[in-house]
């Protein structure tokens, strides 16, 4: 027999109310914290300001360069990152955790450090940098340097996404292919790769979206030619908030486009599964 059931019931009401109030308040505050600044930024420029910005050659050039360099970085991630993602998904070896940690390291370190590190390795005062210079490859203040930076910061997103995709491909399908006489390369290109193609596309979009937003490392390696985040920063420091807002709106809209593509691909993948 339970003692004082009515008292226990009343005692449980207040903690329950506090819990629900905490949950609801936290959810509302977090969503507002994310949505309110973005919505206010989008609503700030006038239509005339946005039209003038869309006709601004410097803005168009910087946005185009950002998209182009980000696309190049994602293609490099596709070519160079796919084999490593496959090895991490299918092989167990000594030091695997170290390799996985190394891949995630660009996410953790401060972004200006990335720029300093790349210049330290590939700058003109380093032997490797002198080799690149002799080959006609210049990192400092070049599209090549920008692409290298964007590849560095975006690569972890591609590899981790594609690694998960390879892990979701049943090993038995590869074993069946091998048992029917197909070699490792034929099995990879005819079975594994097509089944992982959607994850690879998602990984490329994530890599490109991350690369598009990079500022800290790019401004160290190549202030010029200007990518869109650097141009936005320069206009903010030189002319103030109102001149940088239209560029910010363009970057927000481009980011929303990438977000929409990711949502569509993720939804299609879940429906197929």
Number of separate domains in the chain: 1
Instruction: Classify residue 104: in a domain, yes or no.
Output: yes
- pLDDT for res 166: 96
- pLDDT for res 4: 47
- pLDDT for res 224: 93
- pLDDT for res 250: 95
- pLDDT for res 28: 97
What pTM value is reported for the model?
0.88
Instruction: Classify residue 30: in a domain, yes or no.
Output: no
Instruction: Classify residue 31: in a domain, yes or no.
Output: no
Instruction: Classify residue 1: in a domain, yes or no.
Output: no
- pLDDT for res 34: 95
- pLDDT for res 10: 60
* Domain CATH for 248: 1.10.3720.10
Q: What does 195-254 look like in DSSP terms, one character per residue?
A: HTHHHHHHHHHHHHHHHHT--HHHHHH-SSSPPHHHHHHHHHHHH-HHHHHHHHHHHHHH
Instruction: Classify residue 44: in a domain, yes or no.
Output: no
Residue 132: C-alpha distances to residues 121, 129, 144, 146, 167 (Å): 11, 5, 11, 15, 37
Instruction: Classify residue 124: in a domain, yes or no.
Output: yes
Domain coverage including residue 203: 55-272
The tens-digit pLDDT sequence of the chain (273 residues) is 455 454 455 656 778 889 999 999 999 999 999 999 999 999 999 999 999 999 999 999 999 999 999 999 999 999 999 999 999 999 999 999 999 999 999 999 999 999 999 999 987 788 888 898 888 888 888 999 999 999 999 999 999 999 999 999 999 999 899 888 888 899 999 999 999 999 999 999 999 999 999 999 999 999 999 999 999 999 999 999 999 999 999 999 999 998 898 888 877 666 665
**CB atoms near residue 133 (< 10 Å):** 15
Instruction: Classify residue 5: in a domain, yes or no.
Output: no
Instruction: Classify residue 261: in a domain, yes or no.
Output: yes
């Amino acid at each position: 027999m339970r003692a004082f059931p009515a008292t226990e019931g009343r005692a449980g009401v207040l903690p329950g109310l506090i819990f629900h109030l905490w949950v609801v308040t936290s959810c509302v505050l977090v969503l507002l914290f994310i949505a309110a600044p973005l919505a206010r930024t989008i609503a700030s420029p006038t239509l005339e300001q946005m039209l003038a910005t869309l006709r601004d050659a410097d803005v168009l050039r910087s946005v185009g360069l950002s998209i182009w360099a980000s696309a190049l970085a994602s293609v490099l991630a596709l070519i160079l990152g796919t084999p490593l993602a496959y090895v991490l998904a299918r092989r167990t070896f000594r030091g695997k955790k170290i390799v996985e940690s190394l891949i995630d390291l660009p996410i953790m370190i401060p972004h200006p450090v990335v720029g300093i590190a790349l210049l330290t390795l590939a700058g003109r005062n380093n032997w490797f940098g002198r080799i690149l210079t002799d080959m006609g490859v210049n990192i400092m203040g070049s599209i090549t340097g920008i692409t290298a930076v964007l590849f560095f910061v975006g690569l972890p997103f591609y590899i981790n996404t594609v690694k998960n995709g390879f892990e979701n491909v049943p090993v038995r399908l590869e074993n069946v292919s091998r048992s029917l006489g197909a070699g490792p390369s034929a099995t990879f290109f005819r079975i594994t790769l097509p089944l992982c193609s959607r994850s690879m596309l998602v990984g490329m979009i994530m890599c490109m979206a991350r690369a598009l937003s990079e500022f800290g490392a790019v401004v160290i390696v190549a202030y010029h030619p200007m990518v869109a985040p650097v141009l936005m920063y320069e206009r903010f420091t030189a002319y103030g908030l109102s001149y940088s807002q239209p560029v910010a709106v363009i970057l927000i809209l481009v980011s929303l486009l990438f977000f929409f593509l990711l949502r569509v691909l993720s939804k299609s993948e879940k429906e197929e599964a």
